Structure 1
Amino acid sequence: MNSSLFAVIMMLAVLIPSGMQAQAPATYYNSAYGKSGKALKTELHEIIKSGYVTKSYDFLYTIYEESDTRPDGKLWDMYSTCTWTHGQKKCGNYSTVCDCYNREHSIPQSWFNERSPMVSDAHHIYPTDGRVNGQRGNDPFGECANGTTLTNGLGRSGSSTFPGYSGRVFEPVDEYKGDFARTYFYFVTRYEDLMSTFSTSSTSFSGNAYPSLNSWSIALFLKWHRQDPVSEKEIVRNNAVYKHQKNRNAFIDHPILAEHIWGTLQGSAWDVTGVETPAELLARVNYNANERSMMVAADLGELSYEVVNISGVRLLSGTLLGGDAVSMGSLKPGVYFFRANADTLKAVKKFIVQ
């Protein structure tokens, strides 16, 4: 990589957190405090439904320019390794991966009969390669150990190997599994009042307002949610969609909510204390490119961490105290992910070693 291109990428990477400006008002979730389980989910439904602004299906491409842009300025595609320029090579017809990109309903349209407002809700519709989108079809997300991956594609299709379901599924790559899990948590909360009208045949849905997801999907998405913490990419996207739709994905803002609704904290009331959001955590963990070190703010307390490469291989791990720094000097030039864990809160920061 030449020095001028690297400088541009680094500048864009630094600018990404500025997309966090369109954050929720401080009181956005106040009415949900003190609730758990079904009551908490219903209150979140009321919060993220209130004030929702329906946008047209075509307007998604406009939102994508703010919500789904990589650090190098290209469109962010979670289904392929292709390089896309916003507004160019929209599908159309396709025969192979990298022919064109389109709008992927992570919750397939057939599950809700292509109805509005679900059909154009940007929180669950991502720009993806058309061929891989077609490979997935209307299959639910799942795990398929022996699935098929297309050339230049990300993810695989095949028979489910996750307990509780044996049908055909699409498995995204590990880097984005948490993204899709939190997308499903959002969808079944936002549309809680319509869940009884959605399909339950070969889907992730249970056909009721609570828990809304069937048992194997709850187990699957909680697993992904825990293994793949909220990233800066998700925070930027959540803020960009909020700017246009005026509602948020609560499970990106407060990942612990999933545990209070479906997981290990169902009987415990949600209470916000201390550093609660991934955005707050990431703001306290910063990479110093000149010193090649990751620095932790003094007010953070104890933090466990691991550093993985783009293939998910763990290279470093340990524990830091507020005000400490850990050297990244042993890493070769490349892209890495710093996974931070402060108590029950986790977040991922992407950084580049030159």
Structure 2
Amino acid sequence: MRILFALLLGLTTITVQAGAPSSFSKAKEMLYTQVYPSHGYTIYTGCPWHITKGNKKVVDLEACGLANAFPKKQMKRAQRVEAEHVIPASWFLKKNGQWRQCAIDAKQHHKNARKYCQKHDPEYRRAHNDLVNLFPSVGQINADRSNKPYAEALSGNKEKTFRGQGENGRTIVITSRVAIPPKEIRGDVARIAFYYERTYGLKLSKRQNELFEQWSKIDPVSQEELARNDKIKRVQGWSNPLQK
């Protein structure tokens, strides 16, 4: 009887917790502790990360060979885990190719568009905090990647290559114009982009759309992607129907 009660209690807890994150802070908490068990590997480079006893999210740059990959002034952010929007949050400030009203209002009021839209546009807030699009990332790589379009060929200057080492090591190349993600996650990126297109009105450029179509075929859904998607559904109540 006690075992049955414990199982029912566990199911009840999942049901209560499931739901759209009410804020970005809540979304990050859910990402780091419920989608991932307080540790894992960063998306672009496969660096191990964990939460310390002091509740700090830290990356082990030494373990993935990136301890010397950043200048001294960037080391603090490089050692920090950040929640990366694989599809940049600025991309869905537009819906169906038109600026959301909240973005227009933010500009008129001289406010940060992302913050303003999270407060005033429920759909944007849901898109911004959707766990489908959030992954743990090396903080400084998140900053360098910014909102650059994806590509698989070099374009622009100031090229930076981050080559993670170890069993889970991956490589991302970032220039002044584009981000070239590791091959292992290109299909994942594509399917998230198509999900945002269908769910939140994201309008992809012809070039990005063609690239993502190709990536989705070359890199089909993996077991890791399936497991993550299933966990997200249990945590927030829905997931990406394209990642099945």
Tell me the distance in 1 between the aligned counterparts of 2:186 and 2:85: 15
Which residue of 2 is the match for residue 57 of structure 1? Answer: 24
8 A contact 2:191–2:243 mirrored in 1: yes
Structure 2 residue identity aligned to 1:156: V
Which residue of 2 is the match for residue 186 of structure 1? Answer: 195
The question of 1:150 aligning with 2:150 is answered: no
The gaps in structure 2 that reach 5 residues or longer are 1-17, 60-71, 94-112, 118-124, 165-169
CA RMSD after TM alignment: 2.9
Q: Which runs of 4+ in 1 moved over 4 A?
A: none
1:335-350 to 2 correspondences below 5 Å = none
Shift of 1:189: 1.2
Among 99, 105, 108, the alignment partner of 2:79 is 99
The question of 1:83 aligning with 2:48 is answered: yes
Which residue of 2 is the match for residue 222 of structure 1? Answer: 213
Tell me the distance in 1 between the aligned counterparts of 2:215 and 2:209: 10
Question: What secondary structure sits across from 1:187 in the alignment?
Answer: helix
The question of 1:236 aligning with 2:227 is answered: yes
Tell me the distance in 2 between the aligned counterparts of 1:188 and 1:228: 19
8 A contact 1:98–1:129 mirrored in 2: yes
Q: Deviations over 1:316-353 (max 9, x none)?
A: xxxxxxxxxxxxxxxxxxxxxxxxxxxxxxxxxxxxxx
8 A contact 1:94–1:131 mirrored in 2: no
Which residue of 1 is the match for residue 88 of structure 2? Answer: 108
Tell me the distance in 2 between the aligned counterparts of 1:101 and 1:190: 28
The gaps in structure 1 that reach 5 residues or longer are 1-50, 160-167, 196-211, 254-354
Q: TM-score normalized by structure 2?
A: 0.62
Q: Kindly tell me the number of residue pairs found equivalent between the two proteins.
A: 174
8 A contact 1:110–1:138 mirrored in 2: yes
Question: What secondary structure sits across from 2:48 in the alignment?
Answer: coil
Among 158, 166, 172, the alignment partner of 2:181 is 172
Tell me the distance in 1 between the aligned counterparts of 2:88 and 2:145: 10
8 A contact 1:144–1:156 mirrored in 2: no
Shift of 1:74: 3.3
Shift of the 176–184 alpha-carbon distance from structure 1 to 2, 3 Å rule, reads: same
Asked which structure has the greater RCO (Cα within 8 Å, sep 6+), the reply is 2
Q: TM-score normalized by structure 1?
A: 0.44
**Structure possessing the higher radius of gyration over alpha carbons:** 1
1:192-203 to 2 correspondences below 5 Å = 192=201, 195=202
Q: Deviations over 1:276-332 (max 9, x none)?
A: xxxxxxxxxxxxxxxxxxxxxxxxxxxxxxxxxxxxxxxxxxxxxxxxxxxxxxxxx
Q: Which has the higher helix share?
A: 2
